[in-house]
Amino acid sequence: MNDNECCPKFDPTPWDGKLFEWNQKKFIKAQVRTFFHIPMNFGGVMKTLDQKVRDASVMSPDGVCLSDHTSKWNMDLYLAVDKEILGAENMTLSGKFLSKVYEGPFQDTGRWCKDFEQFASNKGLKISKWFMWYTTCPKCAKKYGKNYVVIVAQVT
């Protein structure tokens, strides 16, 4: 990345309509305050996570950062890392996951979720856990001309 780019350009191809398995995929976890699901301190939390990754000389594979909207007031973030980080909340995810890429304004999220439910159902899969991956910040989405969001769900 260069100085004018805080988010790398996202390539949707490896994530669109894919079924994959993770076996103890490593993440660090943080919480974001939300107001009726609208993130209030997302940028600050991302900067803190990024600093932890940099300080530990750890890599974030594919820049995957999953959001779990646990309530109207909280969102948990899971940033993929290639090894555990001392002083961070380390966790892993394992299982079968389905992903699909959407593009457009965030107010389309409800429509995307309905579409994803149908997509999973058509594949004979049941969603057990939902995550959203907001691939770029609003500034970079505007710069690139695309606002990609990936729904990633643990499925059975």
Integer Cα distance of 143 and 7 in angstroms: 10
Q: Given a cut of 70, is residue 80 above it in pLDDT?
A: yes
For residue range 16-41, what is the model confidence (pLDDT) as tens digits? 999 999 999 999 999 999 999 889 99
Integer Cα distance of 99 and 72 in angstroms: 23
For the chain, the average pLDDT equals: 93
In this structure, which long-range contacts are made by residues 141-145, counting pairs with CB atoms below 8 Å and at least 24 apart in sequence? 143/5, 144/9, 144/10
This prediction has a pTM of 0.91
Identify the pLDDT of residue 111. 97
In this prediction, what percent of the chain has a pLDDT beyond 90?
A: 83
Residue 49 — very low, low, confident or very high, per pLDDT cuts 50/70/90? very high
Q: What are residue 125's phi and psi, to 5 degrees?
A: -110, 145
CATH of domain 18-155: 3.20.80.10
Q: Are 27 and 80 in contact (CB under 8 A)?
A: yes
Identify the pLDDT of residue 1. 44
Any residues with CB less than 8 A from the CB of 75 and at least 6 apart, and which?
31, 32, 34, 37, 39, 42, 67, 68, 69
At residue 18, the 3 state secondary structure works out as strand
Alpha helices in the chain (DSSP H): 42-55, 109-122, 138-144
Question: Domain ranges in the chain?
Answer: 18-155
